A and B are shown apart, each in its own frame.
Chain A
């Protein structure tokens, strides 16, 4: 599976995890994803915005126009209560999945 495909399947939990820390706007999220993954993830706008709007439609995040620290008006996204519940569920799934994969891959390597 390519890195792009891996990112596609992980976009929602990545966004929810970031937004669970604080509300952010689109460009800020892209920078944050890149910074926190040491440049490994280079999320494109064509992936980010549809994902954010889909999460908003499903009530997992809330979009709100407000002033950024720079004074510019930006559309911020904040995680909702349902979003936090979904994040918790995706976290559990991810830990179980990665643990199982690691067990097999690590075993085969040793």
Chain B
């Protein structure tokens, strides 16, 4: 049975708006508009054409600007093979750690986290526009988020103990430290994700997804869903190995809609791998957790498009001026 128009019409309108924003790369539009302007000026000054006629001739000479803009959008969205390889490496390293059962050895974990921090820091400063940087950044930020969440959780537990009148084995300095660490860790994550979503929300999702998967994997393990530690390692090795291919495909694809499709599909698939053997309560919790990034996938471009709509309007008439 088809959905009534009252439901589909607003969704369609929002989707069209979001897609329009995704295609409206102002830099590209501006460049193409400048080109037409340059040709118009040449025709006016070198051939003596009136400005209106010169503009029409410049537009005609350009061909189909929409086709050119679409082609450019695809090229700009598509990562090179080097980007693809670099983007897949961090997830493959995590997969390797799980597969070789080194994921519970402190030196390996610290080494991998440090590697992710160094490469993502270099990447942010030297190649900030490249998608692969965000794949590394995600694993670099996971310890930051973990420290933040654990600090806040232990602070909450300690505060609860105080309220209940239980014994509190904490001095004032540790209270300040744990609250500070907690707020700093979570604050850094939120600030970064808001910034990334505004800049390019697909990059934002490349940061969010691995963090979510790692958090879920640890949560599931903590809940005792696996019979043996080897089983947990194998399970997660497959999960992160598959995720490396998802990242690679996302970086290589030129079409943003396909990227959205791949990222959104990755979530339920990852959940299917993770949730095997879990009880129903955990499955619901995991579903909610895994659904959050999917929800962001849908909401973020709309938020960005609404935020930037005014700026686009300011520019677009400029591109069509005579």
Within 8 A of B (CB), among A50-108: 50, 53-54, 57-59, 65, 72-75
Q: Are A57 and B68 in contact (CB under 8 A)?
A: no
A58→B81 CA distance, assembly (Å) = 9
A49 partner, pick from B32, B39, B61, B78, beta carbons under 8 A: B32
Q: A50-B72, A53-B72, A57-B75 are in contact. Are A45 and B80 (CB under 8 A)?
A: no
Contacts of A50 in B (CB 8 A): 68, 71-72, 75
Contact A45 B78 (CB under 8 A): no
Query: Within the assembled complex, what's the spacing in Å between the Cα atoms of A73 and B27?
Result: 12
Cβ contacts B12-35/A at 8 Å (1 or 0 each): 000000000000000100111011
* Residues in A whose Cβ lies below 8 Å from that of B32: 45, 49
| B63: Cβ under 8 A from any A Cβ | yes
Given contacts A27-B34, A49-B32, A50-B68, 20 further A-B contacts (CB under 8 A): A26-B31, A26-B34, A26-B35, A27-B35, A28-B38, A44-B63, A45-B62, A45-B68, A46-B71, A49-B71, A49-B72, A53-B76, A57-B78, A57-B80, A58-B80, A65-B27, A72-B34, A74-B34, A75-B27, A75-B34
Instruction: Scan B57-84; emit 1 where CB is below 8 A from any A CB, else 0.
Output: 0000111100110011001101110000
**Inter-subunit contact A57/B76 (CB<8 Å):** yes
Q: How far in angstroms is the closest Cβ of chain A from B158?
A: 51
Main secondary structure, interface of A, reads helix
Across chains A and B, the number of contacting residue pairs, with CB separation under 8 Å, is 54
Report if A27-B39 is in contact (Cβ < 8 Å); known contacts: A74-B34, A75-B31, A75-B34. yes
Q: How far is the CB of A103 from chain B (nearest CB, A)?
A: 36
List the interface of chain A (C-beta within 8 A of B).
Answer: 25-28, 31, 44-46, 49-50, 53-54, 57-59, 65, 72-75
Q: B31 to chain A: which residues have CB within 8 Å?
A: 26, 49, 75
Chain A nearest Cβ from B183, distance in angstroms = 38
The interface residues of chain B lying within 8 Å CB-to-CB of A49 are: 31-32, 35, 68, 71-72
| Contact A46:B64 (CB < 8 A) given known A72-B34, A74-B34 | yes
Measured CA separation A26–B35 after assembly (Å): 7
Show 22 residue pairs from A and B whose CB-CB distance is below 8 angstroms, ordered by the A residue. A25-B34, A26-B31, A26-B34, A26-B35, A27-B38, A28-B38, A45-B35, A45-B62, A45-B63, A46-B64, A46-B67, A46-B71, A49-B31, A49-B68, A49-B71, A49-B72, A50-B75, A53-B72, A57-B76, A57-B79, A57-B80, A73-B34
**Which of B34, B42, B71 has the most chain A CB atoms closer than 10 A to its own CB?**
B34
Task: Please indicate which of the listed interface residues A28, A53, A59 has the most CB atoms of chain B within 10 Å of its own CB.
Answer: A53
Q: In the complex, what's the smallest C-beta–C-beta distance from A94 to chain B, in angstroms?
A: 23
Q: Bound complex: CA of A49 vs CA of B30, how far in Å?
A: 13
| Chain A to chain B: the 4 pairs with minimum beta-carbon distance, closest first | A27-B38, A53-B75, A75-B31, A50-B71
Complexed CA–CA distance, A22 and B210 (Å): 43
What residues on B are CB-neighbors of A74 within 8 Å?
A: 34
**C-alpha gap A53/B77 in the complex (Å):** 11
**Identity of the chain B residue whose Cβ is nearest the Cβ of A59 in the assembled complex:** B80
Task: Give Cα A20 to B75, complex, Å.
Answer: 22
Kindly report which residue of chain A lies nearest to residue B65, judged by CB atoms.
Answer: A45
Cross-interface CB contact of A46 among B37, B39, B68, cutoff 8 Å = B68
B65 to chain A, nearest CB (A): 8
- Cα distance A43–B27 when bound, in Å? 22
Please indicate the chain A residues that have their CB under 8 angstroms from the CB of B61 in the complex.
45
Give CA–CA (A52, B79) in the complex, Å: 15
Give the Cβ gap from A73 to chain B, nearest Cβ, in Å. 8
For residue A65, give the distance in angstroms from its CB to the closest CB of chain B: 8
Task: Kindly supply a per-residue 1/0 record for chain B positions 243-261, scoring 1 wherever the CB is within 8 Å of any chain A CB and 0 otherwise.
Answer: 0000000000000000000
B67–A54 touching, CB < 8 Å: no
